[in-house]
Structure 1
Amino acid sequence: MTRLIILDRDGVINEDSDDYIRSVDEWIPVPGSIEAIARMSKAGFTIAVATNQSGIGRGYYPLSELFAMHDKMNRLVQAQGGHIACIKYCPHTPDEGCQCRKPETGLVEQIELDLNLSASGAWFVGDSLKDLQCAERKHCQPVLVKTGKGKRTLAKGEELDDVPVFESLAEFADHLLTLPLT
């Protein structure tokens, strides 16, 4: 089993909004998510984040604000004794046709290059169908959490055969850390 875990950001690590998370002040962790990342990191997992951030392409917030959000996330995880190995983001809008916007696999490929690891077999935790589709395209193990847009995704029921579902990232971490190491 690979020791890589790829996390979506909005709705998995932090609270999501249909109006976009536009500032560091709006970036609020989902309860238990920061501690979950730290626990998985301390257990020897490499944590990466793959996030669509079309709010940049739409002009809702500048890159400097995105970097401030990621700095806040990193500082909170580090304060709990954990580490996020890399964060990759797609700033493009859906109509730009890029290869990095999930469900395309460019962000995962960037993670693989940056970390010199294969994502094949990695856990990929998301709250949307796009996350799950990206995971499957890269031969990752998709996981759906009910936080963020997860309950909406679950209600649609599309392409969710054999996808494990957890209430939150914290519940996923609880499960993962009970599995035997292979």
Structure 2
Amino acid sequence: MKLLILDRDGVINHDSDAYIKSVAEWIPLPGSIEAIAQLSKAGWTVAVATNQSGIARGYYDVATLDAMHARLRTLVAEQGGELGLIVYCPHGPDAGCDCRKPKPGMLETIAAHYDVPLTGLWFVGDSLSDLEAAKAVDSQPVLVKTGKGAKTQGKSLPAGTLIFDDLAAIAAELINN
């Protein structure tokens, strides 16, 4: 199985320091939906692992998050693709859970769901916590320059981190190589 795991905010859709609190605020980045659909059509399973502390903070509820993810699935389907498992951490940063990135709980959940090892599997994110979660389970950390990625690029990245302009560039790399 060819599995790719993505962070959501800043990788698939625009991010906001004020949080994405509604379907109306959930706006795909240029080319991201098409990239997911292209990967799907090329035999890749694309899953999502996303911190969503806005739930714990009371900014939106699970039904709103589910509506955002339904919109994402619909857009990918309209491009002829399919999106795999979406897992999220609803906890705040101080909850001490094992799912909130940089902890690897969500990646482990996805791997268990698909019964695949995480070693070497690409996890794409735009923040240091995404890259650290990948490293924690020996996955391949992949940074996109979208979202917070350009700022993250200036930090001390985990050894071996791959860097791409955006999700479309990653799709082209995985499909063509």
Q: Secondary structure at the match of 2:153?
A: helix
Query: Partner amino acid for 1:165?
Result: I
Equivalent-residue separation in structure 1 for 2:2 and 2:132 (angstroms): 21
Once the two structures are TM-superposed, the CA of residue 119 in structure 1 deviates from its matched residue by: 2.1
- Count matched residues: 177
The alpha-carbon deviation at position 116 of structure 1 amounts to 2.0
Structure 1: distance between partners of 2:60 and 2:37:
28
- 1:31 paired residue number: 30
Q: Which residue number in structure 1 is paired with residue 138 of structure 2?
A: 139
Cα distance in structure 1, aligned partners of 2:85 and 2:135: 21
1: CA distance, partners of 2:123 / 2:12? 13
Distance 2:65 2:110 in 1: 18
1:120 aligns with 2:119: yes
Distance 1:99 1:161 in 2: 23
The CA deviation at 1:160 is 4.3
| 1:162 match | 160
Moved more, 97-106 or 160-169: 160-169
**Alpha-carbon displacement from aligned partner over 1:29-75 (angstroms, at most 9, x marks no partner):** 00000000011111111111000000000000011000000000000
The answer to whether the 8 Å contact 2:22/2:68 transfers is: yes
TM-score (norm 1): 0.94
> For each residue in 1:147-176, what CA deviation from the matched residue of structure 2 results, as whole angstroms up to 9, or x when unmatched?
000011012x21244311111101111122
Matched, 1:72 2:71: yes
Write the letter of the residue equivalent to 2:166: S
Shift of 1:84: 1.2
Flag the 1:115–1:167 CA change in 2: closer, same or farther, 3 A.
same
Distance in 1, matches of 2:120 and 2:83, equals 19
- TM-score when scaled to structure 2? 0.96
1:9-88 counterparts in 2 under 5 A?
Answer: 9-88=8-87
**Structure 2 unaligned regions, length at least 5:** none
SS of corresponding position for 1:49: strand
